[in-house]
Amino acid sequence: MNIILLGPPGAGKGTQAERLVDARGMVQLSTGDMLREAKKSGTEMGNRVAEVMARGELVTDEIVIGLIEEKLTGENGGGFIFDGFPRTLAQADALGALMAKTGKTLDAVIELKVDDAVLVDRIVGRAEQARAAGQPVRADDNAESLKQRLMEYYKKTAPLLGYYYAKGDLKSVNGLGAIDEVAVEISAVLKNL
């Protein structure tokens, strides 16, 4: 089973992806993790990634698709979870073409629906709790950074909701529930596929 987790920053995509990895043996394809791994790998693709990142430039869609293709042709356990990709309509088209090329299907796109104001409160509260406990806090876990990240999400990634809805792939769950509640909703969606 291959799925995409969609939702704004802080909606819990990474947390739910980890749960699916543990529960179903799925492979999480996080673009950030893949880029860091490639950079250290010493492969031809890894060297390209390292060069681009060293120049402070954004890695091209072509490179990201190449990294994903390497993963898709490897061992996939219980399927793949796309986390952080696609982020744009062009990337969604490229992913669709890559899935067809590798003989794989996309089974569902699961949107973690959240209310922006509640999400900002959640992230700011999480940062305050971490500070109070003497734990590290992400540099972008503050209201202003989160609002900027949300703006980017709505400009570039939110159009994917309509794209996948039109394809009949979009399923929505309440991303503001407790972690276990969200996991149960996702599991219910996957059972009904």
Which residues, 6 or more positions from 169, have their beta carbon under 8 angstroms from its beta carbon?
106, 107, 108, 109
CA distances from 32 to 10, 28, 53 (A): 15, 11, 12
Active site annotation includes 87: yes
From 87, 104, 113, 156, active-site residue: 87
Active site annotation includes 19: no
> What values do phi and psi take at 167, rounded to 5?
-85, -5
User: Which has the closest alpha carbon to 175: 124, 122, 111?
Assistant: 111
Active site annotation includes 36: no
Active site annotation includes 55: no
Please tell me the chain's helix, strand, coil percentages from 3-state DSSP, rounded to the nearest 5.
60, 10, 30
Instruction: Using the structure block, give the residue that is written with the tokens 């698709």.
Output: 65
From 24, 104, 149, 156, active-site residue: 149
From 13, 19, 39, 122, active-site residue: 13
From 131, 138, 147, 155, active-site residue: 138
Measured distance CA(138)–CA(152) in Å, rounded: 18
Active site annotation includes 122: no
From 24, 71, 113, 126, active-site residue: 126
- By annotation, the residues acting in catalysis are 13, 87, 126, 138, 149
